[in-house]
A and B are shown apart, each in its own frame.
Chain A
Amino acid sequence: MSDPVNLISEWFRELLLGWGLSSTLVQLISFAIGAVVVCLVAMTVVILLIWVERKIAGRIQDRLGPNRAGPFGLLQPFADVIKIMTKEMITPDGADSVPFNLAPVISVAAVLLIWAVIPFAATVVGADIHVGVLYIIAVGSFGIVAILMAGWSSNNKFALLGAARAVAQMVSYEVPMVLALLIPVLLAGSMGINGIVEAQNVWFILLAPIATLVFLITSMAEVGRAPFDLLEAESEIVAGFHTEYSGMKFGMFYVGEFLHVFTIGALIATFFLGGWRGPGAATYPILGFVYFYLKAFLGYFVITWVRLSLPRIRIDHMLAFSWKILTPLILVILMVTAILVKVLENANVWLFTLVMLTANVFIGWAAVQIMKQVEQSKPPQQTFEGRPVAMAPKPPASANS
């Protein structure tokens, strides 16, 4: 009873074999059903997460959030789905219809594909391929193609600008993200996702807190959420790449964004928070699901919290932040991690954790100090002479006497 997923799949396989189907066909059918179930569970979780996010946003902004449809407003996202399904989908004049219709599909599919390799529990590991990390990086980049397609095919200047910005942002933040993922790979000595989870006797967030932070920041930029939502900055370029989308096609971009955020929570849980591991998860795989989803939700909550707390940053600051701070920082951390792992190869686990944690905290502190120094040594900001400034007129001198 402790492993219901495998129990059901075994029973189903026996049933199909009993009908006299060939074992290859049974394999194919069970894989297809597994894929559909994984995708549908992810999509359903997202529908609930939309409610969670609106509720959190409401609380942070000192209001109630959705509370009309159903208890605690729980039926609100379903009402929204029904509404958006009955809305007209407009294809604007001059739009390139093939990429225009394909873009929302790809933007959701790119995120769903990541779920193929994520291990949910000790016995439910998805596809345990040897190059899991590279697969995630490669598949995650499909989303950029979708945004570029949407921006180009919309026949709208705002959409085109938004797409161009998205490419700049994602190209810049891809580098520190890939380098940050090198650190769990190095610590685990494996590129398979399951290998990385199984190597986390000590959670990697304790061994590599800075890599975790860099991965969190860069993936937030990859999704394009506030404070990195320059690709759809309302005050500058209307709605960015999805200006011309309406109805369910817009809904798919929306769902894709939420799904991506939750997927990033899942990736942080897998790479840095020990995945499905927790007390009793090895003997009772069902507990692994609980731990995994709790950790993924923790990551999701942090991203939402940041989104609701920080304003949007300027585009040149954003690119400079990636190239001048995150990339050098993660390269230094990578070198230090490599040296320490080699030097402390035979050390006690606790000593190793302590040394890694201290090294990370020290490097983080040093980075902050260097940034402060640079900021102080800059010449003061240029002021524009002769610019008219609104000032109260001076009272005539005679008024005082």
Chain B
Amino acid sequence: MNPFSSNQNLPLILSESQYKIDSDLVTMYSTSIKCEPFPFTGFSSQYKNTIPPMAILTLSLRDLVSKLKLPHGTLHTGQEVEFINPANLNSVLSCTTTLLQNTVRKSIRVLIIKLSVEDENKIPILTGKTTLFTS
């Protein structure tokens, strides 16, 4: 798969991955952005194990980032995300990323990638769309 080729039939699935979000990963995320340590004291007891939604988005994109091998200097210019359901600590999540658009404008390649995350019971967790400008 070469995501940088213009000769593709779109949409094109770029990655399909499964991962478990454990407390170590969430702690790594919380530490890096210096937010309140997990679990959040502000959440009601029903949601005390809810993973921060942006942590799910960040961790869901890990596999894509590895696979794409984007050229250095690639710019992330836009992001959409819809949080549909909360995910709890130690959930096993599946993430599918799909290339929706691959066009070149004035020597800049524009990639639009959709991602969908669901849990082990096929319950949708989030969907999103990432726009990248690359050379």
Whether A and B are associated in the same complex: the answer reads no
